[in-house]
Structure 1
Amino acid sequence: MPKRGKKYREALAKIDRENYYEPRDALQLVKEIAPAKFDESVEVAVRLGIDTRHADQQVRGAVVLPHGTGKTRKVLVFAKGDKAQEAVEAGADYVGAEDLVQKIQEGWLDFEVAVATPDVMSMVGRLGRLLGPRGLMPNPKTGTVTFDIARAVKEIKAGKIEYRADKTGIVHAPIGKVSFPVEALQENYSTLMDALIKAKPAAARGQYIKSITVCSTMGPGVKINPLKPLG
């Protein structure tokens, strides 16, 4: 395990690692002990009681955080005609069809979210091997394959995030910046947790929310009581 710096160790010393915190107290503590000089992101890690080996126990979706994440993401839209114009007017960073597919096939990946209209998905599907492993492939489950292009782009720009349980059943998601008021972080946190609870697979058995940890980009984790996740 790499040796931690002095600021990290000082931050860690302020956490009672034997106990769980209420969400607001945990978020306030994360703000206070963030060790970096830059405005760190605040992130949540939620371990779910699911078996991701089974198709009926996947947890994936998207949610609009009321206060955004503090970061504006670059949005690419695959669309033609009126829908392409709609995307431009909604604030998409890149809009196109075959031209963008070719550009991506040549190695260009300067975007963070991709949205597509259903009628061009056969073309976009050729990019599956490039976009899939990077989590950039448009998907109806996360609202990124839609004819309502303007709404999709505006929501992403406003703070819509995607969440997905990894192979170990853990969901990692950003909920804002250290500079956010604690009330804003708490509202974003509650919105994400509410979405995760509603996304519980019917096949999941036993305790669903196993553990919750919040931290800043460079700071140590603070545990939240998983039995009272919304707090």
Structure 2
Amino acid sequence: MATARPCLGQLSRTCLQFTRSTPTALPIRLFSTSTANGARGKYTPPIVSKKEKVLPQSTNKYIKKAVVKKKKARTTYIQYDLSKEETFPLLDAMRIIRAWEVGQKPTSVKYELALKLKSQKNGPVVRNRLRLPHPVKTDFRVCVICPPDSAYAEAARAAGAVLVGEDDVFDAVKAGKIEFDRCVCQTDSLAKMNKSGIGRVLGPRGMMPSSKLGTVVVDPVKTMKDMVGATEYRERMGVIRMAIGQLGFTPEQMSTNLKAFIEAVKKDLSRISDKINKELVEVVLSSTNGPGLPLNGAFKGTNTSVTSKELSGP
């Protein structure tokens, strides 16, 4: 006799009974996207035993870590090789510069000499005042800080000082009305000048009176007479710059001023301590609008086509 086959309803009831009989404690974690992050629990990394060996780093030459090395700070200024640079005699340099200054007034353009030193960054600087054989600037304005009712004030006004006194000078400087080229302080007014705070204004300009520069003196009138035609120079970033002539100066006048300036700087270098070495490595002549031309120390070159007389006129 043939067995009866189960129908579709019997099979569905059998499957339903099997699913209900399945134990509920299954090792399955179900996560819902609507559940808050805090309810899901925190991830705890697996504990690695200390006995486990750490895999060695890759030996591939193309996989290298970038090692950043700190550069050592330079103690001296950068020096360039000047052996291959073109240098000029004085006549050729003046001819090129005057060609750049065509159409300018001879009194408005100044020749400037730059002396480059081999020097340390944090060492002592060269600073002094020089009176050139041929003064570059004649309209020299001097301010004198001294008691306004003293004999020094009367003598300074008679000598041609543009501004004399104490409080008047301090107020003018703080207001930005600096209508003078040099400032001299009498020793009796030194304490009052230091308390006034004008050093913040005159210091960056190089005009603050100091005993090192010889501008804090007992007799201001005597210093004023010595200052007429004198120019201060100071080393900045390993370079000393100073105006040594006007456009209308002759080559002979320029040569005299140039030699006086270089000799004065060399004397200043010789006074510095032996532990600190400063050397003169380059001399560059330029002008207000012209380029800078390195000089070779000669007055006239072998191929110089211009003469001294041709450069003597304005």
Question: Do the structures match in fold with TM over 0.5?
Answer: yes
Aligned-residue offset at 1:118: 1.9
Q: Given residue 220 of structure 1, which amino acid in structure 2 is its aligned partner?
A: P
Whole-Å separation in 1 of the counterparts to 2:298 and 2:114: 12
Partner residue, 2:3: none
Q: Deviations over 1:120-155 (max 9, x none)?
A: 122222211111112110122222221232232123
Aligned-residue offset at 1:100: 1.2
Q: Which of structures 1 and 2 has the larger relative contact order (alpha carbons within 8 angstroms, sep 6+)? A: 1
Partner residue, 1:132: 203
Partner residue, 1:13: none
**1:199 aligns to what SS in structure 2?**
helix
Aligned residue among 234, 238, 248 for 1:169: 238
Aligned pairs (5 A) from 1:1-231: 18-22=85-89, 24-25=90-91, 28-29=94-95, 32-36=98-102, 37-39=104-106, 40-54=109-123, 57-80=124-147, 81-125=150-194, 126-157=197-228, 159-166=229-236, 168-200=237-269, 201-202=272-273, 203-205=275-277, 208-225=279-296
Aligned-residue offset at 1:31: 5.5
RMSD: 2.4
Aligned-residue offset at 1:101: 1.1
Q: What is the TM-score normalised by the length of structure 1?
A: 0.80
Q: Deviations over 1:141-198 (max 9, x none)?
A: 22222123223212322x10001001x1111100120101221122111111111101
Q: Deviations over 1:64-84 (max 9, x none)?
A: 111111342321111231211
Aligned-residue offset at 1:229: 9.5
Of the structure 1 ranges 41-50 and 140-149, higher mean CA displacement relative to structure 2 is found in 140-149
Aligned-residue offset at 1:86: 2.2
Whole-Å separation in 2 of the counterparts to 1:92 and 1:181: 31
Q: Given residue 167 of structure 2, which amino acid in structure 1 is its aligned partner?
A: E
Q: Which runs of 5+ in 1 are unaligned?
A: 1-16
**1:219 aligns to what SS in structure 2?**
coil
Contact 1:75–1:115, Cα closer than 8 Å, also in 2:
yes
Whole-Å separation in 2 of the counterparts to 1:175 and 1:70: 10
Whole-Å separation in 2 of the counterparts to 1:27 and 1:155: 32
Q: Given residue 166 of structure 2, which amino acid in structure 1 is its aligned partner?
A: A
Aligned-residue offset at 1:27: 5.5
Aligned-residue offset at 1:99: 1.8
> Structure 2 vs 1, CA of residues 26 and 79 (structure 1 numbering), >3 Å: closer, same or farther?
farther
Q: What is the TM-score normalised by the length of structure 2?
A: 0.60
Rg larger for: 2
Whole-Å separation in 2 of the counterparts to 1:171 and 1:33: 25
> Structure 2 vs 1, CA of residues 163 and 47 (structure 1 numbering), >3 Å: closer, same or farther?
same
Whole-Å separation in 2 of the counterparts to 1:222 and 1:188: 17
Q: Deviations over 1:197-222 (max 9, x none)?
A: 0111224326x001110111111111
> Structure 2 vs 1, CA of residues 70 and 181 (structure 1 numbering), >3 Å: closer, same or farther?
farther
Q: Given residue 25 of structure 1, which amino acid in structure 2 is its aligned partner?
A: L
Aligned-residue offset at 1:98: 1.9
| Percent identical | 27
Aligned-residue offset at 1:108: 1.9
Whole-Å separation in 1 of the counterparts to 2:92 and 2:185: 38
- Which structure has more helix as a fraction of its residues? 1
